[in-house]
Amino acid sequence: MNGTMSMAAVLTIGFFHAFEIDHLAAVSNIVTSRKTIWAAIKDGIFWGIGHSTTIFAVGIFMIGLRYSIAERYFSIFEALVGLMLIGLGLYRFFGLYQKRNIDDNHTHQHSHHLAFGVGLIHGLAGSGSVILLVISQVHSSSMGLLFLVVFGVGTIVGMLVAAGIFSLPFSKRINRSVLIKKSLAVLSSILCIGVGALLITENLWPHGI
């Protein structure tokens, strides 16, 4: 497979990587607080940047510096992501009942720090398998890191698309029903908590941690 085809394949893999259930659970929960599709899309972009930053940082250690990270640590990382999802779900769920409703305050509406931070932590989940996949396909460190950059671009594009889609029911121009918005926010929070609990169970209990 030539270089162009390889890059196209990595870009495509990165795009669909954004649609994994734990990624969607987190971002769908974040965008429930947005009143415009554009604000949600920016959440997706910031999530993707955070996610790509972590993966590239791990890649520098494992590909550039040839530093080996034991597989069991990635299970712990996955469990940490699960804990973060539970916290994210609970934060949004209880916020709905503390008068921090769908129309959040002005500062929150224009801040994307949460999406970026969630992306940073989310980059830990599955990053080991991504790095190992890259290592198995290329023999050049520089090419391996380039593949990770391309993968990250694909992930950012995929998540901005997903965030935009999930935000549609919360856009003021599309849905003016506060009840529907709150109901969907609650469902999103429950999904977030459920996926987080599943990640913790799958990654800690089998290893006796």
Q: How confident is the model at residue 157 (pLDDT cuts 50, 70, 90)?
A: very high
Across 1-10, 11-20, 27-36, 183-192, least confident range: 1-10
Instruction: Burial-class residue 177 by CB neighbours within 10 Å (0-12, 13-18, 19+).
Output: exposed
- Span 107-123, mean pLDDT? 79
Distance linking the first and last C-alpha atoms of the chain: 42
The DSSP call for residue 33 is G
Concatenate the DSSP letters of all residues of 129-150 into one string. Answer: HHHHHHHHH-S-HHHHHHHHHH
> Which pTM value belongs to this model?
0.82
Q: How confident is the model at residue 4 (pLDDT cuts 50, 70, 90)?
A: low
Q: How many residues does the chain have?
A: 209
Give the pLDDT score at 177. Answer: 73
Q: How confident is the model at residue 136 (pLDDT cuts 50, 70, 90)?
A: low
Across 79-88, 110-119, 159-168, 193-202, least confident range: 110-119
Distance CA 131, CA 56 (A): 9
Instruction: Tell me, rounded to whole angstroms, the distance of Cα 3 from its chain centroid.
Output: 28
- Span 2-10, mean pLDDT? 73
Most confident of the following: 5-9, 28-32, 133-137: 28-32
- Span 190-200, mean pLDDT? 93
